[in-house]
């Protein structure tokens, strides 16, 4: 049903098999109205969207038995995979819907939805804990009723995970749905979080859900802003839906790689999609409202698809961390979210990060000391046992591995009985013997003045390495960063500083 092909961080390029064909993930899932489609679903298929989502509750109200006879694919005119929402959005907006969970489940089965969602009770954002807990309980009861109603089916039934900012409820909800046997999960209530730019809370919600359901495919409701896509994918979301492409177009909002802008504010169109190649900014603004809305919506779809494809390529290249950090700099609230990657709560990102990458990884800022590759290497060093009594520390150079350099040979000649190690602010201490292990041998570090206070992992690596190996003598060619670290680690009295000597004179 779900086959994973490539991974990086918690992101997965996978293949989701449905009754109406395979869907490659990660995938943006455009929202299609079941009655009136401003953008034809077949146009979406030609663009490369193999999965769309529509509203089964509205379909039931508008078509009834006709939908049961024709099926949802004929109703909306789409021959690919169709996901159906059962009315949870209407429940969130209006408090309730005029249908019972069992009846809704049977209807979704009857219309042959490929990926149906049970009728849930969304918690939204800002709900008091006890009321949120009650809503989670209602959703779980509805989901149990749904599975009992539909029995065995070829469809991929989604378990809607609720709880929002109440993370223990998110974990409880996910585990309960997993125990029920749902094949795929969906994170509910993120729209209000994203509208409030509470990306840090959204990241934590995803992390707690993934803690409970690490393997199953995960859908994220309402994620339709190009800025949020790389973050959501990196955290482990496989599909995500939104009507943003059309909603923004109705408001003359033009998407671009780092956000949106009012069409009236553009002198130029910073895009070469089919729409933007056909108009100037002035010509696009001068179209009548309906035509302009359609054209901007088509452009917005191109931007969303391009963002998903760019993120997929970053996964393939082993550059997803770099790409997410690059995108996060487009908004302070996104940077606030990625700074959380330093916390143990996000340790699961290491599970999908390859042990080796063909391309060198990049180190720019302090947050990069927490990337999984660096964490993994520091752990390896923490288990390194040296039989030497003396330690020589030398700053990392441009050539890797360290033991192949002239500097290493000079030090080894001068101190034949010493443990020789280089050091890097992000990787910590690098013993010469394992300086060819990824990523010590495959990294490019930006040169900059750094404050050791921003690099606690380096101090931990230094003190741990010294303590674990019991060196009696420590000699260091100490750059300003290492001098700070020696002081911070309270090793100054034990270290003989050779920083004023060139290597040939050691």
Query: Alpha helices, DSSP H only, in 256-288?
Result: 281-286
- pLDDT for 459 beyond 50: yes
Q: Are 169 and 133 in contact (CB under 8 A)?
A: yes
How many CB atoms sit inside 10 A of residue 178's CB?
Answer: 17
- pLDDT for 221 beyond 80: yes
Of the listed ranges 52-61, 178-187, 195-204, the one predicted with least confidence: 195-204
Q: Are 226 and 258 in contact (CB under 8 A)?
A: yes
Q: Whole-model pTM? A: 0.93
Residues 186-218 as b/e (b if ≥16 CB within 10 A, e otherwise) read bbbbbbbbbeebbbbbbbbbbbbbbbbbeebbb
pLDDT at 505: 40
Query: d(Cα 42, Cα 52) in Å, to the nearest integer?
Result: 11
- pLDDT for 236 beyond 80: yes
- pLDDT for 24 beyond 50: yes
pLDDT at 496: 78
DSSP 360: P
Instruction: Using alpha carbons only, give the angle 174, 177, 182 rounded to the nearest 5 degrees.
Output: 120
Q: Are 438 and 356 in contact (CB under 8 A)?
A: yes
Tokens of 207: 């992390």
Residue with tokens 């923004």: 248
- 399 vs 503, residue with greater confidence: 399
Query: d(Cα 408, Cα 392) in Å, to the nearest integer?
Result: 10
- pLDDT for 192 beyond 80: no
Give the residue from 116, 18, 17, 144 showing the smallest Cα distance to 59: 116
Sheet (strand 418-424) strand order: 428-431, 418-424, 390-395, 473-476, 495-497
- pLDDT for 504 beyond 60: no
The DSSP H or E segment spanning 88 is: helix 88-94
pLDDT at 152: 86
- pLDDT for 292 beyond 80: yes
Q: Based on the residue annotation, tell me whether 436 is a catalytic residue of this protein.
A: no
Query: d(Cα 40, Cα 32) in Å, to the nearest integer?
Result: 9
Read off the pLDDT of each residue in 423-452 and give the average, rounded to a whole number: 95
Residue 18 φ then ψ, to 5°? -125, 165
- pLDDT band, very low/low/confident/very high, at 501 (cuts 50, 70, 90): low
How many CB atoms sit inside 10 A of residue 339's CB?
Answer: 15
pLDDT at 506: 40
pLDDT at 503: 43
pLDDT at 67: 95
Handedness of CA 258, 261, 265, 269 (dihedral sign): positive
- pLDDT band, very low/low/confident/very high, at 93 (cuts 50, 70, 90): low
Q: Does 2-340 carry CATH code 3.20.20.370?
A: no
Cis peptide before 285 (omega within 30 of 0): no
- pLDDT-above-70 percentage for the chain: 96
Any residues with CB less than 8 A from the CB of 88 and at least 6 apart, and which? 117, 119, 120, 121, 122, 160, 188
Read off the pLDDT of each residue in 405-433 and give the average, rounded to a whole number: 93
Query: d(Cα 116, Cα 142) in Å, to the nearest integer?
Result: 13
- pLDDT for 219 beyond 90: yes
Tokens of 186: 């969906």
**What digits encode the pLDDT tens for the residues 256-285?**
988 899 999 999 999 999 999 999 999 999
- pLDDT-above-90 percentage for the chain: 82
- 234 vs 490, residue with greater confidence: 234
- List the chain domain ranges: 2-340, 354-505
Query: d(Cα 328, Cα 231) in Å, to the nearest integer?
Result: 8
**What digits encode the pLDDT tens for the residues 336-385?**
999 999 999 999 999 999 999 999 999 999 999 999 999 999 999 999 99
Read off the pLDDT of each residue in 310-326 and give the average, rounded to a whole number: 97
pLDDT at 189: 72
Which candidate in 85, 114, 120, 252 is catalytic? 85
- pLDDT for 90 beyond 80: no
Query: d(Cα 345, Cα 334) in Å, to the nearest integer?
Result: 17
Query: d(Cα 50, Cα 411) in Å, to the nearest integer?
Result: 60
How many CB atoms sit inside 10 A of residue 155's CB?
Answer: 18
- CATH number, domain 354-505, options 3.40.50.10630, 3.40.190.10, 3.40.50.1360, 3.40.50.1100: 3.40.50.10630
Length of the chain as a residue count: 506
Query: d(Cα 501, Cα 446) in Å, to the nearest integer?
Result: 24
- Chain mean pLDDT for the chain: 92
């Amino acid at each position: 049903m779900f086959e994973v092909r490539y991974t990086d961080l918690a992101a997965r390029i996978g293949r989701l098999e449905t009754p109406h064909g395979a869907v490659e993930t990660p995938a943006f899932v455009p929202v299609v109205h079941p009655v009136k489609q401003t953008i034809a679903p077949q146009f979406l298929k030609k663009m490369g969207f193999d999965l769309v989502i529509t509203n089964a509750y509205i379909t039931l109200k508008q078509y009834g038995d006709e939908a049961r006879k024709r099926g949802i694919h004929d109703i909306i005119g789409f021959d690919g995979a169709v996901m159906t929402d059962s009315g949870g959005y209407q429940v969130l907006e209006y408090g309730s819907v005029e249908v019972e969970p069992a009846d809704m489940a049977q209807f979704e089965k009857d219309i042959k939805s490929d990926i149906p969602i049970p009728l849930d009770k969304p918690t939204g954002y800002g709900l008091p804990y006890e009321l949120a807990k009650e809503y989670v309980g209602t959703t779980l009861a509805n989901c149990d009723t749904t599975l009992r109603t539909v029995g065995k089916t070829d469809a991929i039934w989604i378990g809607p995970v609720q709880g929002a900012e109440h993370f223990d409820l998110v974990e409880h909800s996910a585990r309960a749905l997993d125990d029920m046997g749902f094949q795929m999960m969906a994170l509910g209530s993120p729209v209000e979080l994203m509208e409030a730019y509470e990306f840090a809370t959204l990241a934590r919600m995803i992390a707690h859900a993934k803690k409970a359901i690490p393997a199953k495919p995960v859908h994220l409701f309402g994620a339709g802003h190009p800025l949020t896509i790389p973050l959501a994918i990196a955290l482990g979301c496989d599909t995500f839906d939104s009507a943003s492409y059309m909603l923004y177009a109705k408001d003359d909002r033009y998407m671009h790689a780092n956000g949106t802008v009012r069409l009236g504010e553009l002198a130029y169109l910073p895009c070469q999609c089919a729409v933007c190649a056909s108009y100037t900014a002035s010509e696009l603004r001068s179209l009548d409202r309906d035509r302009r809305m359609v054209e901007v919506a088509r452009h917005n779809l191109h931007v969303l698809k391009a963002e998903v494809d760019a993120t997929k390529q970053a996964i393939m290249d082993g550059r997803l961390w770099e790409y997410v950090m690059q995108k996060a700099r487009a908004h302070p609230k996104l940077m606030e979210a990625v700074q959380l990657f330093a916390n143990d709560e996000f340790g699961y990102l290491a599970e999908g990060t390859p042990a080796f990458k063909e391309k060198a990884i990049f180190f720019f800022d302090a947050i990069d000391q927490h990337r999984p590759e660096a964490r993994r290497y520091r752990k390896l060093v923490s288990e390194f046992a040296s039989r030497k009594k003396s330690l020589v520390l030398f700053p990392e150079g441009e050539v890797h591995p360290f033991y192949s350099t002239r500097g290493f040979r000079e030090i080894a000649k001068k101190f034949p009985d010493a443990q020789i190690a280089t050091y890097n602010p992000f990787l910590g201490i690098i013993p010469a013997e394992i300086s060819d292990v990824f990523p010590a041998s495959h990294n490019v570090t930006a040169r900059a003045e750094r404050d050791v206070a921003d690099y606690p992992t380096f101090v931990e690596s230094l003190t741990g390495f010294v303590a674990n190996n019991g060196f009696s003598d420590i000699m260091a060619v100490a750059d300003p960063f290492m001098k700070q670290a020696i002081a911070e680690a309270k090793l100054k009295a034990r270290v003989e500083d050779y920083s004023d000597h060139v290597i040939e004179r050691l």
